A and B are shown apart, each in its own frame.
Chain A
């Protein structure tokens, strides 16, 4: 069965600095999708970034980028120029084709001024 592991329950970063959140997953599939979701205190789950496993190029969305290492089954999220509004729970998620999303346990990110 597929699993997603986030080994950092909490992380903190100072405003304007860079932080990296870790995620590893276990799968025997070669075609799948990976996502990072953000959940602020409002509870709304917001997609931060997604990566297709067949793409070698790492996805980037403005200040957010990933380091996708398919052989190592690693999918880390880098947040550059951190802002106070980045403070939230971050969930890594995996999906094979149109199967259900499998979420990691989450990392709480605190941003200090």
Chain B
């Protein structure tokens, strides 16, 4: 299993500013994932973060808007840049252990409100 600590749990930010979300895992994992969950919606993958390489972004998400760092095998950050009210969402980090059929573990999520 894996225990994930995600910070902050919530924040209210002014438009035009940036927020960095941190994700700490209690074990080493190769891949970490960042999701966005808009109000009342499902989870959408933003990007996959591998240690030692550039993050891989899904269609509709760009590095300038959502820069990601992955300095080691237990930590990652997601920054939401130049925020607008449309960025108000829950952001979740997730890890999936290397075995094919084991579950994905999620952080507690960050509820972001942009005003």
Contacts and interface: CB of A to CB of B under 8 A. Distances in A.
Contact of A106 (B42, B96, B103): B42
A106 B108 CA distance: 18
Interface stretch (A12-20, A42-50, A62-70, A71-79): A42-50
Given A91-B42, A105-B42, A43 B108 contact: yes
Of A33, A42, A91, A103, the most chain B CB neighbours within 10 A belong to A103
Interface in B72-115: 90, 92, 94, 96, 98, 100-101, 103-104, 106, 108-109, 111
The number of chain A residues touching the other chain, given as a range, is: 10 to 19
Contacts of B90: 43
A interface: dominant SS = loop
Contacts of A103: 42-43
Nearest to A46: B106
Interface string A83-98: 0000000010000011
Q: How large is the interface on B (under 10, 10 to 19, 20 to 34, 35 or more residues)?
A: 10 to 19
B42 A45 contact: no
A91 B37 CA distance: 12
A91 B108 CA distance: 16
A25 interface: no
A11 interface: no
Contacts of B41: 105-106
Given A42-B108, A43-B90, A43-B111, A91 B103 contact: no
Interface of B: 33, 41-43, 45, 48, 90, 92, 94, 96, 98, 100-101, 103-104, 106, 108-109, 111
Interface of A: 33, 35, 42-45, 47, 50, 52, 91, 97-98, 100-101, 103-106
**When A and B form their complex, which 4 residue pairs have the shortest distance between CB atoms, in order from nearest?**
A43-B109, A45-B106, A47-B103, A103-B42
